[in-house]
Amino acid sequence: MSTYADLKDRAKNMALVEDDTLAGIFVNDVYRDLVVQAQLKCTSTTETLTQGQNLYTFSGFGITDLGMIQYVMYRASGQTDGYILDQSDLETVLQLSSTNPTGYLRKYALQGLDNLYVWPASQQTGDVLIIYYAQEPAALALANDVPSSVPTQWQHLISIGAAARLTDAVGEDITLATALQNKYDLLYASFVKWVKSRQGRGTQMMSSGYARSVAMPPHDRSAYYSHYSPGY
């Protein structure tokens, strides 16, 4: 397992740069991007809504590690079942909310990094949103800190990505920066494929409806014969 010091040293060696502070910044940037984009560290939180209110903030909910929203589920007060809201664009949600309707929530839209709009506004205080999201990992700070949210066999990606950014920031070797970025992109694609493979193929669903045609069973066409003769 790589430590923060290891990752910085490898990034500096690949980038041919000695700036330890800048290397540390880019190591943490790449680490955070990997964890969030591949949704490696996830959680959910249940937040209470207020009657008639359609604008909320993640900071107001106390969410300080939001990396990426996965799903937003709504559950009416007193109910045990809920359902996932449709993600929409801000313009649509604002237009639908122009008459200040209340009721069972159907849609949500994001504005900037902190604002969450819902439509319609909650019909009563006590309704809840269950927000599923990918978390940002805690930044690496001490030399012996480890990027535990990334599997050990893929932690070298952090150094390569940091080296590409480090070389590009210094700007002294564009060819090296491009080569490192291409290497990172290639390995990142393999990493994403590996992450998806861990999720499995999922349940195979039986097709519905009627078949357009019925296939014939296996057979030997050479066994066919006909009573037709050219002489008749």
Run of H or E residues at 182: helix 174-198
Angle, helix 174-198 to helix 4-15, in steps of 10 degrees: 140
Q: What is the CA radius of gyration of the chain?
A: 27
Question: Tens-digit pLDDT profile for the chain (232 aa)?
Answer: 899 999 999 999 999 999 999 999 999 999 999 999 999 999 999 999 999 999 999 999 999 999 999 999 999 998 888 999 999 999 999 999 999 999 999 999 999 999 999 999 999 999 999 999 999 999 999 999 999 999 999 999 999 999 999 999 887 788 999 999 999 999 999 999 998 888 765 444 443 333 344 444 444 444 444 444 455 4
Question: What pLDDT, on a 0 to 100 scale, did the predictor assign at position 201?
Answer: 59
What DSSP letter does each residue of 26-43 carry, written as one string? HHHHHHHHHHHHTT-SEE
Instruction: Quote the CA–CA distance of 58 and 81 in Å, as a whole number.
Output: 23
Q: What is the pTM of this model?
A: 0.79
Question: What pLDDT, on a 0 to 100 scale, did the predictor assign at position 230?
Answer: 52
